[in-house]
Amino acid sequence: MIKNPILKGFNPDPSIIRVGSDYYIATSTFEWFPGVQIHHSKDLVNWKLVARPLNRVSQLDMRGNPDSCGVWAPCLSYNDGVFYLVYSNVRSFDGICKDTPNYLVTTTDILGDWSEPIYLSSRGFDGSLFHEPKGKKWYLNMLVDHRKGKFFGGIEMQEYCPAQQMLVGDVYYLTEGSSLGLSEGPHIFFKDGFYYMIMAEGGTEYGHAMTIARSSSIYGPYEMHPNNPLVSSRNHPDNELQKAGHGDIFQTQHGDWYAVFLIGRPISKLGKCTLGRETAIEEVIWENQWPYLKQGGCVPRTYIPTPNLKLQPFKKEEDMIRFNILELPIDFQSLRIPVSEEWCSLQARPGYLRLYGKESLASQFQQSLIARRVQDFHVEVTTAIVFQSQNLQQMAGLVFYYNTDHSHYACITANYDGSENHLSIFSANNGESSSQEELIDVTGQEKIYLKGIMHLEDLQFYYSFDNRTYQKLGELLDASILSDDHVRDGSDRYRPAFTGSFVGMCCQDLAQNKNYADFEWFEYKALPLK
């Protein structure tokens, strides 16, 4: 059986293609760099992260981008030997109007370098490229309509000219969507004389849905599916997979049809999803030239039958990463900026990852932070750190992070003049900070081991001086603040919150941006859920 989700942890807005017998899914990365995750599979059961194509500032400049802005809803497509990737780099979202530039990059090798970006449009976000059988290429997006607070203005389309590398001709308004509203994430595919438009609707929370419409002309009018939504968990609060919507439909090489879509797994009924929005899959059949979920209804299942494809599992990754390596493993990302020797080095001290202290965890410009997704409800994460804080504005340690306003940070820091070093915990929650300071005196300790165990909504830090005996560090913490749901519920105004919890290593030098911490290894271990 396939067990959903197929992409665990923060992996939303899936766009899928098949090239021969290879399947690739692109998902959103928001403010995390490099941009866009691409997973590969040959059997739809086993998936491996293989690429992040937006790995240069010339392709993706996110310095100063607000939380949960950046790369939204990429669209991956393939035509005549070329891979195409459309993506948004959302620059602002708080005002009446939004700044949502969209770009296109291409490559002939999905694992290689991608082109410099071609600017497309800023009319909306969730851009998508459709390669018409007749040869034209069409760019779709949702329209941002600021009038009278409407925001979601429907779906529109314009031709893309590869020769001129730009959008050309008239803009065609296609549909305002179904009665669910909040129409976004459009994708078009062609089958048996009909153009089918997939949309994400109902908002990306517990009312989310994946809907579909069709037309015999690409210009419309589009007729809504008689049983929309195609996929949704709305009105089914007891289902394990919630928030189902925003997805794509594809066909295997044997003629079977499937849908991929985002879901969330709350830690309580309609509660908080600390792992973020993930990617799931379902079987699709066709009746009267309309797609339906094979099992009936619209609610996704946790287990679905294995497809008619030979199983090809990948080698299991090691839990512990020792930094006697030449480059960081692909699981790690940075915030808004690329990794560079200026702040992150595997060469400065052989066998260690050196992070030079930069700005605070509240910065939207230059943090010195390397982290990976939390992908399990019960995890144990440990690191070994060598660091001497020289004053109260220098710190380094282990952080569980959601965004600049939500984190739990166990770190080494100092008193005013650096004569004493201590272990402290700093937490941020909806702009308010709290701390458990000077918990343990570590003055003169050469190496310190920090551990965090996250179990559902609970997080407990630990420390050790020998990596054998660990003691609790501070009080039990609320890990549920590291979720989209908490960020929205705890705010007096709507703020975008679309990512998930990360865990990683970081270093700050708020005085001079030059002190550094050396990390010997990092271990992420999934534990059985109690």
pLDDT in tens, 422-473: 999 999 999 899 999 999 999 999 999 999 999 999 999 999 999 999 999 9
The predicted structure's pLDDT at residue 154:
95
CATH number of 320-526: 2.60.120.200
The predicted structure's pLDDT at residue 267:
96
Residues 6+ apart with CB under 8 A from 309: 21, 42, 43, 44, 45, 252, 254
Q: How open is the CA angle 498-269-73, to the nearest 5 degrees?
A: 20
The predicted structure's pLDDT at residue 95:
79
The predicted structure's pLDDT at residue 279:
98
Q: Report the alpha-carbon distance of residue 309 to residue 193 in Å, rounded.
A: 28
Residues 6+ apart with CB under 8 A from 19: 78, 110
The DSSP code for 443 is T
487 — phi, psi (to 5°)?
-60, -40
The predicted structure's pLDDT at residue 149:
81
Please say whether the beta carbons of 9 and 244 come within 8 A: no
The CB density around residue 120, as the number of other CB atoms within 10 Å, is: 22
First to last CA, the chain: 23
One-letter amino acid for residue 96 of the chain: I
Helix (H, G, I), strand (E, B) or coil at 283: strand
The predicted structure's pLDDT at residue 493:
58
The CATH number corresponding to 2-304 among 3.40.30.10, 2.115.10.20, 3.40.50.970, 1.10.443.10 equals 2.115.10.20
Residues 6+ apart with CB under 8 A from 161: 137, 167, 168
**Domain residue spans of the chain:** 2-304, 320-526
pLDDT in tens, 14-62: 999 999 999 999 999 999 999 999 999 999 999 999 999 999 999 999 9
Instruction: Give catalytic residues, as residue numbers.
Output: 13, 184
Give how far Cα 368 sits from Cα of 156, 402, 522, Å: 40, 15, 16
The DSSP code for 275 is T
Q: Report the alpha-carbon distance of residue 266 to residue 289 in Å, rounded.
A: 35
Helix (H, G, I), strand (E, B) or coil at 390: coil
Residues 6+ apart with CB under 8 A from 322: 351, 520, 521
Please say whether the beta carbons of 258 and 249 come within 8 A: yes
Q: Which residues of the chain carry a pLDDT beneath 70?
A: 490-494
Q: How many residues does the chain have?
A: 530
Q: Do domains 2-304 and 320-526 have the same CATH topology?
A: no
The predicted structure's pLDDT at residue 125:
94
| Residue 258: alpha-carbon gap to chain centroid | 22
β-pair partners for 55: none
Residue spans of beta strands (DSSP E) within 202-327: 209-215, 223-224, 231-232, 242-251, 257-264, 277-287, 290-293, 303-304, 320-322
Give how far Cα 434 sits from Cα of 297, 384, 452, Å: 46, 25, 18
Encoded tokens for 520? 């010997």
